[in-house]
Chain A
Amino acid sequence: MTQLDGVVKPKTKRSKRFLESRAPKLTEDVKTAMIMKGGNASQTVTQALRDIYSLKKPNAVLYKKKNITRPFEDSTSLEFFSKKTDCSLFLFGSHNKKRPNNLIFGRLFDFHVLDMIELGVEKYVSLSDIKTSKCPEGTKPMLVFAGEAFDTDNEHKRLKSLLIDFFRGPTVSAVRLAGLEHVLHFTALDGKIYMRSYRCLLKKSGCRTPRIELEEIGPSFDLVLRRTHLASDDLYKLAHRRPKALKARKKKNISHNAFGTKFGRVHMQKQDLTKLQTRKMKGLRKRRGEMVAEDQEAQAPKVVKVES
């Protein structure tokens, strides 16, 4: 479809709108995720996929049927699906003897796989196992990453970026303070990654900022890193390239000094200094006779006009 984008001429307004919604944009929409399971998926994996779908809900597509494909061996079918549903994130769950309870997080750039990271589920508690009140659907979560592995290890770094991309939700300009309810906490520890989801209770602390209490709501995962497929450096760089139109242009003639004071150049008309009012003093007061003479001088052309 991308090759023919220039050639396909929409015949109706509706199809035109549709093609426009799919076309690349300067500021992009929220990334949507497709969540699917492989040929064999255990109860845990199916439940996990469903729970992650409910976390991601308005921006996700849950595939109901099995898709017999192995993303690490052949990603063409994933690319096909992403084109169909215009999704650029995917989560693939499968289960087999060699890799039990397998989740593959991945993202695509220009309908081609950029990163894929395979995670094994060691322990899993679902959303419905914990009987507490949950967060409303579509809440923008607060993301917290802990552990030095996320800062040092290359694969963990990429995983962090992928998880931020996956769970961050829409970019918003403002947020309601009381609506900051959901916390997703990722901890890299002991070669494992602990993902926990908490509801955040804002308690009174006596000052403006509230005290936080957390209550686990699930789903919670203990994950181990398995295979990874990371994009090459130049492709990764290409995917990060910001279009020129989005870059902030430098404003001319405005500067700041070391203290952050703003300086600008102001253009003014030349001031007429002849009409400047200086200090009034008795001694400098014009006399009657002089004033008349001055007036005549100033309005000479007018006088001439009257005479003629």
Chain B
Amino acid sequence: MAACSVEELLVRAAQDEAEKLKSISVQKELELHFDIGNLLACDTNRVEVRDFREQKKEDFLRSLARDNTQLLINEIWKRPTERLEEAIVTKLPEPITALPREKPAPKPRAPTKWEEFAKLKGIQKKKKTNLVWDETAKDWKRRWGYKRAGDDTKEWLIEVPETADPHEDQFAKRSKAKTERVAKNEFNRLKNIARAQKVKLPGVGLTPTPQQSKEDLARAASVARTSTASAGRFQDRLPKEKPLKNTGKKRKFEPLIGNFSTEKQKQLELLKLMDGKRPKLNVTKAVNKQMREEDREEAAAKYKKRAGKKGRKGSMPGKAKGKTAKGGKSGGKAVVGGKRRGKTGKR
């Protein structure tokens, strides 16, 4: 009797379970595609048009939607849940559906001229401390910017150098130098941007330099000469003035009539050059190329050496000192030898 009741109970429990599942289970011919990250379900089953026409349209659509939503909900409820501030929360996976981006991926910034040069030479950025000790103020101050240590614009007295003109305003000189440095930096920034965007810039003529060399002066003279309304056409030359190097040469044509022997000779020479198998060697270019390559190799070797010691680079002055001293003791000779070898290669 007792055994029978147990069996009955088991059967009843199984039935109950099945009934419970019935209310949430849906039969479909093809499985739905889910993208839980987007809360998305795609039903690829064929929708029976006949059913649709026979039934009331809205009811049919609702029952279809119910079934599909039930399947989606079942799929979501399968995922692990957790309690978060009185609410039950499910973690969603990453969306699978590939959707187009809004904008193309960001591009890395093009390196500046300095960055390119530093890479070629293997120069690495050194981290400097933000605060430095100011001897006059007896305090730690910023290295740069407002209230910086050793701010030379805030000095109330400047010693006039012996060689300087005593009537010259030293304060004005300093501030002018500063503005010029700022302008130069801005100019370089703009040049870097132009280079990064591959914009061809017109020549800028003369840029101010602190010390004008002989070439600079000659360029300045030639620019001044051509800066007239007639582009220097009626400008007289100074006595003993040489024509500027690397200026445009006027094309000269052979005469149309008369002796053609020179023309013939030129053409033949050109043909000979074209016919010859051996390419002409541009010595300067080749030498430059070789030197560049060696520089690059050297820089790479240096970089590798530094990279090996990574993590020991100290910004602290004391630490750095210790390191250099050590280097000098142990590997000083080897470094010198390496350098010499490099130089001989260059020659």
Given known contacts A142-B41, A183-B69, A206-B20, is B105 in contact with A243 (CB within 8 Å)? yes
Q: Are A175 and B89 neighbours in the complex by a CB distance under 8 Å?
A: yes
Given known contacts A174-B89, A180-B76, A206-B20, is B69 in contact with A214 (CB within 8 Å)? yes
Number of interface residues of A (CB under 8 A): 69
Tell me if B65 counts as interface (CB < 8 A to partner A). yes
Given known contacts A216-B58, A239-B101, A240-B100, is B20 in contact with A196 (CB within 8 Å)? no
Over the window 133-144 of chain A, the binary record of Cβ atoms lying under 8 Å from chain B Cβ atoms (1 yes, 0 no) is 000000011111
CB of B19 to closest CB in A, whole Å: 8
Residue of B with least CB distance to A216: B62
Which residues of B lie under 8 Å from residue A114 when comparing CB positions? 100
Stretch from A42-50, A187-195, A271-279 contacting the other chain: A187-195
Over the window 196-226 of chain A, the binary record of Cβ atoms lying under 8 Å from chain B Cβ atoms (1 yes, 0 no) is 1010101001111111111010000000000
Q: Are B24 and A207 neighbours in the complex by a CB distance under 8 Å?
A: yes
Q: Are A165 and B100 neighbours in the complex by a CB distance under 8 Å?
A: yes
Stretch from A20-28, A258-266, A297-305 contacting the other chain: A20-28
Docked complex: A117-172 residues within 8 A CB-CB of B: 140-148, 150-151, 160-161, 164-165, 168, 171-172
Instruction: Kindly state the separation between the CA atoms of A31 and B47 in the bound complex, as whole angstroms.
Output: 32
Given known contacts A144-B72, A151-B42, is B103 in contact with A212 (CB within 8 Å)? no
**A176 touches which one: B38, B88, B101 (CB < 8 A)?**
B88
Instruction: Kindly state the separation between the CA atoms of A290 and B247 in the bound complex, as whole angstroms.
Output: 99
Tell me if A37 counts as interface (CB < 8 A to partner B). no
Residue of A with least CB distance to B20: A206
Stretch from B90-98, B214-222, B296-304 contacting the other chain: B90-98
Residue of A with least CB distance to B62: A214
Q: Are B103 and A28 neighbours in the complex by a CB distance under 8 Å?
A: yes
Residue of B with least CB distance to A152: B44
Residue of A with least CB distance to B26: A212
Given known contacts A143-B38, A176-B87, A209-B73, is B95 in contact with A171 (CB within 8 Å)? yes
Instruction: Kindly state the separation between the CA atoms of A150 and B84 in the bound complex, as whole angstroms.
Output: 37
**A110 touches which one: B21, B45, B103 (CB < 8 A)?**
B103
Which residues of A lie under 8 Å from residue B100 when comparing CB positions? 107, 109, 114, 165, 236, 239-240
Which residues of A lie under 8 Å from residue B77 when comparing CB positions? 177, 208-210
Q: Are B73 and A180 neighbours in the complex by a CB distance under 8 Å?
A: yes
Give the interface SS of chain A, mostly helix, strand, loop or mixed. Answer: mixed
Given known contacts A6-B196, A185-B61, is B68 in contact with A146 (CB within 8 Å)? yes
Q: Are B20 and A207 neighbours in the complex by a CB distance under 8 Å?
A: yes
Given known contacts A26-B106, A198-B62, is B40 in contact with A177 (CB within 8 Å)? no
Tell me if A88 counts as interface (CB < 8 A to partner B). yes
Docked complex: B197-253 residues within 8 A CB-CB of A: 197
Tell me if A241 counts as interface (CB < 8 A to partner B). yes
Residue of A with least CB distance to B42: A145
Known A194-B61, A210-B77; 14 more pairs at CB < 8 Å: A88-B103, A143-B40, A144-B43, A144-B68, A145-B43, A148-B46, A175-B89, A177-B76, A177-B88, A200-B73, A202-B73, A205-B20, A209-B24, A210-B24
- Top 10 nearest A-B pairs (CB, nearest first) are A243-B105, A239-B100, A206-B20, A24-B103, A185-B65, A146-B43, A88-B102, A209-B77, A142-B39, A24-B106
> Can you name 22 A-B residue pairings with CB atoms under 8 Å?
A6-B197, A28-B101, A28-B102, A31-B102, A107-B100, A109-B100, A109-B102, A142-B41, A145-B43, A161-B97, A164-B97, A164-B99, A171-B38, A174-B92, A175-B39, A175-B89, A176-B88, A206-B16, A207-B20, A212-B66, A214-B66, A214-B69
Binding site for A on B (CB under 8 A): 16, 19-21, 23-24, 37-47, 49, 52, 58, 61-62, 64-66, 68-70, 72-74, 76-77, 81, 84, 87-92, 95, 97-106, 193, 196-197
Binding site for B on A (CB under 8 A): 6-7, 23-26, 28-29, 31, 88, 107-111, 114, 140-148, 150-151, 160-161, 164-165, 168, 171-178, 180, 183, 185, 187, 189-190, 194, 196, 198, 200, 202, 205-214, 216, 236, 238-243
